[in-house]
Each structure stands twice: as C-alpha cells, then as structure tokens.
C-alpha cells in the first residue's frame, strides 16, 4: 500500500480491501449517509466488488448516470442535485465517485457545489482517472463543445486507487491513461517516458502508476490554481481539447487520450518550429505516439475549426499560449504562439 | 471613504467616484474584458450612474437578467455562462455584479464556476447586499424551494459599497437589509440593536452600515467555511428560510428580510422556551420586530410545512440545530432543538 497526500486529498494506492476505506466508512463517516455515483459501466462491472469487499455501505444509495464523456453536462449534475435533495442529503454526508475521469470530474463538481460542499471520496476505476483526474482538485463539466468550461478547484478528502479495477477495462480505454502518463514523462521525466514507450500493457506496474502520480502531484502542489507551474500539465491539451471538442457533438467521438496524443504530436511540432525542441527528440516523440496511438489525418477545414475552438479555450489570455517542450522531460509554459504557427504545425496531422 | 478587508475581498464604503474602482478598471483590469451583470431594476436605476461617473467601462458588455429572488436559479446561471462563452470571456476577464443580494449571490456563483473562477467585483445597490450578501464569500442559487442549495465559498476581489445607491430603493426593500442589521446586533452587539431600533430610515448613517459590516466581517473571518462561529449568522434563518422557501413558488412571495424577521421572532421564542433568553429580552425583541415589520400569522398546516422544509435545510446535521440567543447581543450555535419545541415556538405567529 502506497500512501501520500496531494493538496487536501489523502491518496492510497493498493488493494481497496486493505486500505483505510473500510474504517473511514464505518468510523469517520459512520453516522453519515452515503451515496455512490456510478455510470452504467461501473454499475455493472465495479459496484459489486465494492459491496462484496466493504462494510459500511449496506445502506448506501446509488445514483447511476449514463456512461460517456458527452454526459459530463450541467443537466446530469442537476439530476444528481435533485436526487441528493430528495434523499435529504446534508453537507456532512458523503458522495463516493466510482468510475473513470467523467465520474470523478462530474461527481467532484456536483459534491463541491451541493450545499456549498459535501464530503467526497474518489474511487477511480480507469487508468486515466487513476493517474490524472483523481488528483489535483480540478472538477468540472462541459458547456456545449467547450470542455470543463464550468467547474471548481476542490479536492476530495480521499482517493483510493486500486489497480485491480483496471482488469475491468478494455485496452482502448487504457490508452486514455497512457496518454497522460506519457505527458508526465514528456514534461518532467525522460526516463518515465522511455519506460512507458517500451512496456506492454500487461507490464504496467503499480510502480509506474505511482511514478506518474508523483509527477502530477509535485506539479499541482507547487501551484494548485494553475497560475504558473501547473500549466505544464496542459501540454498537448490546448490542441487536444479542440480536437476532442470538435468531435464531441458528432457521430465520431474521439477519446480524450487519443485526442491528447494528437495534441501532444502537434504541440511537439510547434516546439520544434519554435526552435525549442530538436528534430531528433521530435522524431522520437512522433514515433512513440504513432506506435501507441491510431493517429488520424484531418482536412484543412477541420484544422481551421480546431483553431477557432482553441481561441475560446479557457487557457487563452490575449492570444494563444502553449506549454511547449524544450526536450524530452523538460517543458515551459505560457509561450505565445501565432495562429499561423499552430496552423503550420497542424499539418503534421495531414 | 472607509476601507477594510474581509477574507480575500478588499472592501470600500463611500462614493464610488472617489473609490479605487476607476483605477482598477483602467489599470489593473485595463486589458481585461468587462461585463456588467444587472437585473431589470438596476439596469434602469443604477447602470447609468456607473457609466456617467466611471472610465474604463466604455466597451463593457451588459448581461440583464430578470429581477426577483425566484430567478436565482441554475437556469439563469446557465444563460449567463452561455453569454460569457459566446462573448469569448476568459478567466482573466471581469464580471461586475451591480445589484442587490440576488445579483451578488448569483453573479458571484456564476463567476466562481466559469472556467473554474473568473475575476469578480460586487457593487451592491440594496441595503441587504451592502450589509450582508456582499461580504463573506457565500455565493449560490436556489434549487426548487431550497434556498442557496447550490453554491460555493468564493469572495469577489473587490466590493464597492456606495450608500447613495440606496436612494434608488423603495422603503420596503430597505427592510430586507434592516433585518440583517438587527440580526447582527442581536447576536453580537446590543448597542447596535438598540440604535437600529430607534432610528428612522432617513437617519440610517454610513457609520451604522459600517458597524454592521464589521460585526459580520469579524465573524466570517474567524470561520470562513461555517464550521463553528459563523453559524451565529444563521440566527433567524433556519425558520426564515423555511418560510421564504414555502412562499417561493406561490403567488404571495415573502421578502427575505421579512421572512428573517419572522424567523428571528420564532427563534427568539425557542431561545426563551429553552431557558436561554429572559422574558424581558424576548418581549423587547418582539416589540422591535413588530414595530419594524409587518409580522403575519400562519395556520397550523403552514407551520407543519415550515418544519418539513427545515428538515431539508442545509444546516441540518442529525436533527435540527439552531443558533439561539442568550441575551440581546449574545448568541450560541449548534443547539439541538426538538421539532415539538419548534412547533410550540411557531405559535408566536398564530
């Protein structure tokens, strides 16, 4: 069992049965009402595991919401708030978020707003949620095509990361987490990047997850509200969010991780055009991303549309600013980049 | 010009022309986009005053929402978020809330969520907003009959309190603020209470407003997230919110201040039944409230309905807890009170 804290959250990685969760539910929150937020997938695949192995959830309520990123909306939050109200939940009661990034982002947001903040625990079940969404306190929902446009900075009191939940996950879903892990390597730790580049998913060890978590944790602790250093974590996301947002309301949705992989490729290219990144490092990044992800091609019109969405991105302050790479394992934030350069770099996807 | 700070907010009381606002708009936020949130009343009565006297608002956008407490909803927030998105506002742009408690509560909430928090300035125009809603960081909207069920603790960076806006206010509206000022006296300062009991509205001085603000400010600074001491400010509000909530979706809405006046009378009565408050002090409070406010009578059924709403009140933790008076100017929080006692006390309104 690995334990550490990040901001206001206490984080444990290991078997949930051996974690502090059972005691938390029966002692600390012994007299609190509990509700478990699941989506249709985690209701089917993960909830029973929780009930089988944990005391203290006998009287827990269940709120199920539809699975899928396009349900990360204020309307879904509204249905959660109405359910909590009907069940007469108070601010000292507990919401447990059992699911992937969508469940953690949306559930954490719903809990942070309900009665100005009720108790919240994350039990991430996807690799993406384990290495990214569950730590750092960013909660939120989408507004139309704009990702995480509405949200708060609020940490859950506890995060329990049990890698055995990953067995419930299809390979495709694990790629979402891998993209963020590769990002952690690219911005902060070349060795982490190279380890991830070479292993197969069967070899994805708890140690690698912890390594990735520690990189993210170190960065968010240095700058919780993303005024400076935390912007490093946006590498790949300015372009990635635009691509993801573009397809959000279409029939061909793109997974977050795949979108971020595309974003990292384009932003590495911007880094190279800007003279920050060597051709050799760019080629290495490109080859790893192309090996791991099904990198697609886009038309000129689609590229224009991505740029238009980027202008509305929340990281925009008087023009488009990017986190760029100065090498593998080294990044800088707040680099102003002209739209023409972004357009030029997007051609790497043509 | 009186200046002080409360939590993260810098507060100024005096003529807005002589305040730091003009410089703030042209220098600190010189390169930020501005949007002014108004309701139909403040659009008509206050906005022109701002435009006439202040530089830096030439290009400000205006968002007008319908006036009235029943518009303090998530749906109205949604329309604000969509407008901000359409106008491509970023997290470094500024929302100015020009209005009463509803505009400050709802606008502050909308700003705290938009892109996880954009800049926000309050310019309260009602007495209630000046002495209560504008300081302490509680933002929120209602959910059905439940007041402030959804919200955050987020302070605006600046609050500019210009009492000359009170001239735009009908007497009835001022009573809302008076109720909160009387409350500040009742829980913390007997002299403040007696001053307010004797003056007429024409004599309501800046000094009295500052006195009231200082009481609230002292209490919220000691306990920003309302875990202990801040609960003192809930005096009159557990019953008051239930009464206000009951009439929220009816044809006979009750003003917040009037509801709180009723709530204070009932909760003073509970204090007396509990042996905390002397008969003499209760009679004094009753006579002041009856002189100042149009205290109404309710049926047994209505009283039962109030209790049912109270059980869902966000201050509830395993039963109903009240802030009660131990004298005029002295209060205690978290006193557990049985429903029968509340029912008994409600008879003071029969």
DSSP characters over A298-344:
--HHHHHHHHHHHHTSTT-SSS-EEEEEEETTEEEEEEE--HHHHHH
Q: Which chain A residues are within 8 Å of B225, Cβ to Cβ?
A: 117
- Does the pLDDT value for residue B318 go beyond 80? no
CB contacts of B314 in chain A (<8 Å) are: 90-91, 115-116
Contact flag B312-A115 (C-beta cutoff 8 Å):
no
Give chain A's end-to-end CA distance (angstroms, integer): 46
Q: B63: closest CA among B42, B48, B86, B83?
A: B83
In chain A, which residues fall in CATH 1.20.1090.10? 179-349
- Cα separation, B202 vs B146, in Å, equals 35
ipTM confidence score: 0.90
* pLDDT of B249: 74
**Between A and B, how many CB-CB pairs are < 8 A?**
83
pLDDT digits (tens, 9 = 90+) for B103-138: 999 999 999 999 999 999 999 999 999 999 999 999
Q: Cβ distance A22 to A55 under 8 Å?
A: yes
The CA distance from A137 to A9, in Å, is 8
> In Å, how far from its chain's centre is CA A291?
22
Residue B291 C-alpha, separation from nearest chain A C-alpha, in angstroms = 34
Residue A164 near residue A209 (C-beta atoms within 8 A): no
Residue of A nearest to B320 (CA): A90
| Residues facing residue B336 across a β-bridge | B321
Residue A80 in tokens: 């959660």
The Cα of B160 is separated from the nearest Cα of chain A by a number of Å equal to: 25
Cβ atoms of B103 and B129 within 8 Å: the answer is: yes
Mean pLDDT lowest among A251-265, B160-174, B242-256: B242-256
Task: Find chain B residues with C-beta within 8 A of A225's C-beta.
Answer: 117
| Distance, CA of A323 to CA of A335 (rounded, Å) | 6
Of A131, A133, A132, A111, the residue nearest A121 (C-alpha): A111
Helix (H, G, I), strand (E, B) or coil at B178: helix
> How far, in Å, CA of B146 to CA of A115, rounded?
10
Tokens of B30: 């010189």
B174 part of contact set with chain A, CB < 8 Å: no
Give me the phi and psi of A3, to 5 degrees please: -125, 135
Reported as a pLDDT band with limits 50, 70 and 90, residue B145 is: confident
Residue A116 sits at the chain B interface (C-beta within 8 Å): yes
Question: What is the maximal distance between C-alpha atoms in chain B?
Answer: 60
Bridge partners of A4, per DSSP, are: A11
pLDDT of residue B320: 79
Residues of chain A positioned with their CB less than 8 A from the CB of B144: 82, 85
- Contact (Cβ atoms closer than 8 angstroms) between residue A85 and residue B146: yes
Smallest Cα distance from A198 to chain B, Å: 37
Name the average pLDDT for chain B.
94
Decide: A101 and A176 in contact? Cβ < 8 Å.
Answer: yes
| Cα(B90)–Cα(A66) distance, integer angstroms | 30
Q: For residue B210, give the H/E element and its range.
A: helix B206-222
Interchain contact, A151 vs B113, CB within 8 Å = yes
Q: What's residue A350's pLDDT?
A: 87
Q: Select from B143, B151, B317 the Cβ nearest to the Cβ of A85.
A: B143
Whose structure tokens read 């978590």? A213
Task: List chain B residues with CB under 8 Å of A146.
Answer: 85
Asked if B27 reaches chain A (Cβ–Cβ under 8 Å), the answer is no
Q: pLDDT tens digits for B38-64?
A: 999 999 999 999 999 888 999 999 999
Q: Compute the nearest-CA separation of A10 from chain B (Å).
A: 20
Rounded CA separation A240/A293 (Å): 14
- Region(s) of chain A under CATH 3.40.50.1970: 2-169
CATH number of B2-169: 3.40.50.1970
> So what CATH class is B172-349?
mainly alpha
A297 burial (CB, 10 Å; 0-12 / 13-18 / 19+) is: exposed
CATH superfamily for A179-349 is: Dehydroquinate synthase-like - alpha domain (1.20.1090.10)
B90 touches chain A (CB under 8 A): yes
- What pLDDT is stored for residue B9 in this prediction? 97
Does residue A136 sit at the B interface (CB-CB below 8 Å)?
A: no
Of all residues in chain B, the percent with pLDDT exceeding 70 is 98
Q: How far apart are CA B29 and CA A318, in angstroms?
A: 13
- Name residues whose C-beta falls within 8 Å of residue B165's C-beta, 6 or more positions apart in sequence: B46, B49, B123, B124, B125, B126
Distance of alpha carbon A294 from the chain centroid: 20
Read off the tokens for B281: 């002090």
Q: Which of A234, A237, A212 shows the shortest CA–CA distance to A223?
A: A234
Residue A4 to chain B, least CA–CA distance (Å): 25
DSSP H helices, chain B, are 21-23, 40-45, 47-53, 74-86, 101-113, 127-128, 171-188, 190-198, 206-222, 237-248, 256-273, 279-292, 300-311, 339-346
Distance CA B214, CA B245 (A): 29
Among partner residues B152, B312, B317, which is closest to A116 by beta-carbon distance? B152
- Using a CB-CB cut-off of 8 Å, the residues of chain A touching B78 are 74
Q: State the DSSP H helix or E strand holding residue B331, giving kind and residue range, or none if neither.
A: strand B330-336
Report the chain B residue with the minimal C-alpha distance to residue A138: B116
Mean pLDDT by 10 residues, chain A (350 residues): 95 95 95 97 94 91 94 96 94 96 97 97 97 96 88 98 92 92 98 94 89 97 95 96 87 91 98 97 98 95 91 60 97 94 94
Q: At what angle do helices A74-86 and A101-113 cross, to 10 degrees?
A: 60
Spatial neighbors of B33 by CB under 8 A, at least 6 apart, are B59, B61, B87, B89, B90, B93, B94
Q: What is the pLDDT of residue B202?
A: 77
Q: Is B5 on the interface with A (CB under 8 A)?
A: no
- Structure pTM? 0.92
């Amino acid at each position: 069992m690995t334990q550490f804290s990040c901001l206001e959250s206490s984080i444990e990685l290991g078997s949930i049965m051996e974690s502090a969760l059972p005691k938390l539910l029966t002692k600390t929150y012994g007299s609190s009402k509990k509700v478990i937020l699941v989506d249709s997938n985690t209701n089917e695949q993960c909830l029973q595991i929780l009930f089988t192995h944990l005391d203290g959830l006998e009287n827990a309520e269940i709120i199920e919401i539809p699975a899928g990123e396009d349900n990360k909306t204020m309307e879904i939050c509204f249905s959660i708030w109405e359910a909590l109200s009907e069940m007469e939940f108070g601010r000292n009661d507990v919401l447990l978020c059992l699911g992937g990034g969508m469940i953690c982002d949306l559930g954490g947001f719903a809990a942070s707003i309900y009665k100005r903040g009720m108790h919240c625990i994350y039990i991430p079940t996807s690799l993406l949620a384990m290495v990214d969404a569950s730590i750092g306190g960013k909660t939120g929902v989408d507004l139309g095509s704009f990702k995480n446009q509405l949200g708060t900075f609020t940490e859950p009191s506890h995060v329990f990361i049990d890698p055995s939940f990953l067995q419930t996950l299809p390979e495709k879903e694990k790629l979402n987490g891998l993209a963020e892990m590769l990002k952690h390597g690219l911005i902060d730790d070349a060795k982490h990047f190279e380890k991830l580049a070479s292993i197969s998913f069967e070899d994805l060890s708890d140690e690698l997850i912890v390594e990735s978590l520690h990189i993210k944790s170190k960065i968010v602790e240095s700058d919780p509200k993303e005024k400076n250093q935390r912007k490093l974590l946006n590498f790949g996301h300015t372009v990635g969010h635009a691509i993801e947002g573009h397809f959000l309301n279409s029939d061909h949705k793109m997974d977050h991780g795949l979108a971020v992989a595309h974003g990292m490729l384009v932003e590495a290219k911007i880094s190279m055009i800007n003279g920050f990144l060597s051709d050799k490092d760019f080629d290495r990044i490109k080859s790893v991303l192309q090996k791991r992800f099904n990198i697609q091609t886009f038309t000129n019109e689609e590229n224009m549309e991505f740029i238009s969405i980027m202008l509305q991105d929340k990281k925009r302050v008087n023009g488009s600013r990017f986190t760029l790479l100065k090498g593998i394992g080294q990044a800088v934030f707040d680099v102003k980049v002209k739209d023409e350069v972004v357009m030029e770099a997007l051609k790497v996807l043509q």
